[in-house]
Amino acid sequence: MKVAIGADHAGYELKAFILEKLSIGGIAATNHGTDGPDSVDYPDHGHAVCRDVEEGLVDFGILICGSANGMTMTANKHDGIRCGLCWLPETATLTKQHNDANVIALPSRFITNELGWEIVQAFMKAEYEGGRHQRRVDKITCS
């Protein structure tokens, strides 16, 4: 399994924590920054992660910013991306099971590092259910 991860200045600490946990678990990750508290533009990091997912370089993406709203909006501008904003493990599970999400966005200002890792683990364990959900997923893209 391979993951792409990116964060803005509000999410770099959570990103570092998740990168460490992924490494311990033997999961390869591409770090698209940022790695410090200096202000950056979240779309730059969000687009980099989404390009990796769209090009098939990784299995899924993780985006982190203060509220996760900006990263979610950025990600969902990509035709090949279905990004869910996840604040609990249950929301991560459902966004994979019902929406076939390939990117999750985490709100670093509203969750702890430990909860962020639980959310990532829930997403990784979940599987898309297809079936009745596929018709809806097929209607997501506007083009």
User: Can you give the CATH number for the domain in which 9 is found?
Assistant: 3.40.1400.10
Q: Is residue 85 part of a domain?
A: yes
Instruction: Look up the domain containing 113 and give its range.
Output: 2-41+67-138
Q: Is residue 17 part of a domain?
A: yes
pLDDT tens by residue, 92-113: 999 999 999 999 999 999 999 9
Q: What's the total number of domains in the chain?
A: 1
* pTM, 2 dp: 0.96
98 has catalytic annotation: yes
pLDDT at 143 over 70: no
65 has catalytic annotation: yes
Q: Is residue 109 part of a domain?
A: yes
Q: Is residue 52 part of a domain?
A: no
CA neighbor of 64 nearest in space, from 139, 141, 134, 5: 5
Catalytic residue among 9, 32, 50, 65: 65
Q: Is residue 60 part of a domain?
A: no
